[in-house]
Amino acid sequence: MDRIEKAGGASLADRRVVVIGGASGIGRAVAEAARGQGARVVIAGHDAGRTRIAAEALGVEGLVADLGDRGSLDALFRAVGSLDHLVVTAGPQFGSPAFAQLDLAAARRAFEVKLWGAAEAVQAALPHLAPDGSVTLTSGLLSRRAGKGSLAKTVMNAAVEALGKALAKELAPLRVNVVSPGVTATENWRAVPAAERDAFFAKVGAGLPAGRVGRADEVAAAFLFAMTTGFVTGSVIDVDGGGLL
């Protein structure tokens, strides 16, 4: 009983939180929310300029690291030192081509970064991570809702969810979770022309029980829940406006 009662909800105050992908979108919202709760936040991204600008705007530390480059991840965690929570939101941008037109070599490269890049980040962080800390990865609704043109994203996001569950067993008592966003209005959609993007958001939103697509801060709240709730591990937390229904 004593152990159960003592294992209360963990505050982020003065905790060291590293967000790989924190220069934009959901990762940036996680960094902002964690900082708002008193965490000492480091954001990491592969673009030095964008990472520096975001870090200055957020008032956090910004370091360069590429999920596709293990050496840069090792250097990141050497520079950070001890940390309590690792969040990985970084992921490649990938469209939704029909399977017949799918560039399988490009899909392999994207899969490599999203799945094995996340695994490399966790392995590089491991010697520095507090045993009572956490890792939170990012998948996406298509992991369990395949559609035409979704193959690459369905496969890579399903694999990230499997990775999270396997690591939760393997690395316990460190907790490992995955947040699965539905369509969320972030820079992730910047390659789509604004009018087309807005029409897409409106169409998707109209088909959701929530009646709209998501905001980055709403998805970020799930990452904070995963970081601060000691009884949550091996979970996939869906934040998708009801998109899986």
Ligand X SMILES: NC(=O)c1ccc[n+]([C@@H]2O[C@H](COP(=O)([O-])OP(=O)(O)OC[C@H]3O[C@@H](n4cnc5c(N)ncnc54)[C@H](OP(=O)(O)O)[C@@H]3O)[C@@H](O)[C@H]2O)c1
Q: Interaction with ligand X in 155-194: which residues (CB under 6 A)?
A: 181, 183-184, 186-188
| H-run or E-run covering 41 | strand 40-45
> Looking at 31-39, 74-82, 83-91, 220-228, which segment touches ligand X (CB under 6 A)?
83-91
CA separation (Å) from 57 to 24, 52, 60? Answer: 11, 9, 8
Question: Which residue of this chain has its Cβ atom nearest to ligand X in the complex?
Answer: 25
- In terms of phi and psi (left: phi > 0; alpha: psi -120 to 50; beta: otherwise), the region of 107 is alpha
Which class for 102: exposed (0-12), middle (13-18), buried (19 or more C-beta within 10 A)?
middle
Say how many residues touch ligand X, by CB under 6 A. Answer: 29
Q: Which amino acid is at 23?
A: A
- Taking the complex as a whole, the smallest distance from the CB of residue 176 to ligand X amounts, in Å, to 16
SS (H, E, C) 174-237: CEEEEEEECCECCHHHCCCCHHHHHHHHHHHHHCCCCCCCECHHHHHHHHHHHHHCCCCCCCEE
The rounded Cα 150 to chain-centroid distance in angstroms is 19
- Between residues 76 and 168, which has the closer beta carbon with respect to ligand X? 76
110 binds ligand X (CB under 6 A): no
67 binds ligand X (CB under 6 A): yes
Binding test (CB under 6 A) with ligand X, winner from 138, 154, 177, 233:
138
Q: Which of 220, 235, 245, 236 is nearest to 12 (CA)?
A: 220
- Between residues 10 and 165, which has the closer beta carbon with respect to ligand X? 165
Q: How far apart are CA 75 and CA 200, in angstroms?
A: 40
Q: How far apart are CA 159 and CA 82, in angstroms?
A: 28
233 binds ligand X (CB under 6 A): no
- Between residues 47 and 196, which has the closer beta carbon with respect to ligand X? 47
26 binds ligand X (CB under 6 A): yes
62 binds ligand X (CB under 6 A): no
- Taking the complex as a whole, the smallest distance from the CB of residue 5 to ligand X amounts, in Å, to 36
Binding test (CB under 6 A) with ligand X, winner from 140, 164, 241, 243:
140
Report the interface residues with ligand X, using CB under 6 A. 20-21, 23-27, 45-47, 50, 66-68, 89-92, 113, 117, 138, 140-141, 181, 183-184, 186-188
